[in-house]
Structure 1
């Protein structure tokens, strides 16, 4: 007696994590791949406006659990469904939404359109490579070939982009905040930065110059919240000789003029001194620690966007 097997049911997508942190998404992908399979969905084209930047990811596990974002939340369930179908078929696929899409009932609020490449993971070696480099606070990249259906490590360009026929996603370490200062303002900035997911390093007075030197890399913001120019002197000099993408210092315009005079006397050049954001923060003057913390971290976030747009 012949029996016809029913087609395997495709799971219903269910969001597992509310996160868009690339490292967290890649760890989810590695675990999911080891537990039955996973697909990595990548935003590879934007037509008009979009809620996310090129290279943004979603990860979909074979059991239907997914995380990440390629838009503002309006297409993610549909992307997860497409990824589950890709895994069932064992082949990569590219889908479009919004402008130019066959899905007439899915409209992006921004009015534009996006294309998402879905790669069925065969192994997680390339993902582990990225996590290893991020752990060592180094930039990383993955090159995706639609033709070969492969995902391989690559040299990171300045931003995610197409290089010939392959799409290259870029990953950078999370922002490190080296913070010097003992007042309530420093406590407020440290607390808010930790909640924001920054890697917060408190620089202790008396050890600031030596200790900070090895912690400041191109993905580091240095925040000086001393009320005394003498107290900030050691770490400020170290910061100006570092690759930090942001250096901010507390104090009024008058205080900063005195700071500039001191640094000029120490033979620092104008280009070096101009790296200092002083008075610190995006808006001001502020009159309480919480407002200052918001102003400082908004300034740091904006500077990071400019440095690595």
Structure 2
């Protein structure tokens, strides 16, 4: 969507949506691709196997100015185009999507609010973001969008800088907080947004939401006394903290002394990361970021795995 809005003024575009899967597919139901009138595109459905044919089809749809569903892979009229997984995908081509609606969706996501789109033969409309499943509803297909993953990394030293860098280069919206001037300077030089913590009682200047994950990487755990209870009692996706057995016991006592109940304390993942007992900062960073990304993906209604069978589709031809 942002790609279409950033295209040259007056450039027409075609929205392509994955609306049916037969067998397996590299992308999930509801995945989308945008093609501009000069043949440029953003997004993919097969990692390069059918994109050239999709662009050609999109330009044909733009010329005809009429939505259509086209099968690629197994069962497709394009017998010379096959998906590597051996399945088939049905793509809905929508010419000239309303820029105002696309801008409204982008604005909602930028404000970290979920959004949804209804795609019908006669164009697009906003949908109900509370309905998460990508699916046909009568003669229209709905797609839900969730705010991007945001990772808040709090701590100091190599574990902090390695984790924040990896989260940033993965593509998550990343912010780092550290009491170390050197940490802030190092991360800022890498393009990571980093802020200096000056007081243990000061709260970070951010508003958590259900797509925000926290990674506490303090070796001096006194820094957690205010921020960790705040994170656990705020809307969040995931909260984790490093530390050995003694640190975890002391942290548990601290949280109970702060008045947190068992339900809130149970939302803390400790020790952090998928790889147990690692002491190498780079490995710890990979372990923590992978755990957070996995949690984010689990929270989405779409899956990146094969989707058996096909959804019934109304005729848009």
TM-score (normalised: structure 2): 0.83
What pairs up with 1:13-32 in 2 under 5 angstroms? Answer: 26-32=1-7
Q: 1:207 and 1:125, CA in 2 relative to 1: closer, same or farther beyond 3 A?
A: farther
Q: Please tell me the root mean square deviation across aligned C-alpha atoms, in Å.
A: 1.8
Please, which runs of 5 or more residues in structure 2 have no aligned partner? 178-195, 302-317
What pairs up with 1:51-200 in 2 under 5 angstroms? Answer: 51-146=26-121, 149-156=122-129, 157-200=131-174
What pairs up with 1:289-308 in 2 under 5 angstroms? Answer: 289-308=281-300
Contact 1:45 1:116 (C-alpha < 8 Å) held by counterparts: yes
CA offsets, 1:173-200, max 9 Å, x none?
Answer: 2211111111111011111111112222
The structural deviation recorded for 1:208 is 6.5
Contact 1:180 1:208 (C-alpha < 8 Å) held by counterparts: no
Q: CA–CA distance in 2 between the matches of 1:229 and 1:207? A: 14
The structural deviation recorded for 1:109 is 1.5
Q: 1:99 and 1:222, CA in 2 relative to 1: closer, same or farther beyond 3 A?
A: same
The structural deviation recorded for 1:210 is 4.9
SS at match of 1:211: coil
Q: CA–CA distance in 1 between the matches of 2:40 and 2:148? A: 25
What pairs up with 1:252-271 in 2 under 5 angstroms? Answer: 252-271=244-263
CA offsets, 1:5-46, max 9 Å, x none?
Answer: xxxxxxxxxxxxxxxxxxxxx122124474331101011111
The structural deviation recorded for 1:229 is 2.6
The structural deviation recorded for 1:100 is 2.5
Matched, 1:46 2:38: no
User: Which is further off, 154-163 or 184-193?
Assistant: 154-163
Contact 1:33 1:123 (C-alpha < 8 Å) held by counterparts: no
Q: CA–CA distance in 2 between the matches of 1:232 and 1:206? A: 13
The structural deviation recorded for 1:164 is 3.2
Please, which runs of 5 or more residues in structure 1 have no aligned partner? 1-25
- Give the ranges of 4+ consecutive aligned residues of structure 1 lying more than 6 Å apart after TM superposition: none
Q: CA–CA distance in 1 between the matches of 2:203 and 2:151? A: 14
Q: 1:122 and 1:296, CA in 2 relative to 1: closer, same or farther beyond 3 A?
A: closer
The structural deviation recorded for 1:79 is 1.0
Q: Which residue of 2 aligns with 1:230?
A: 222
The structural deviation recorded for 1:125 is 1.0
Q: CA–CA distance in 1 between the matches of 2:248 and 2:71? A: 52
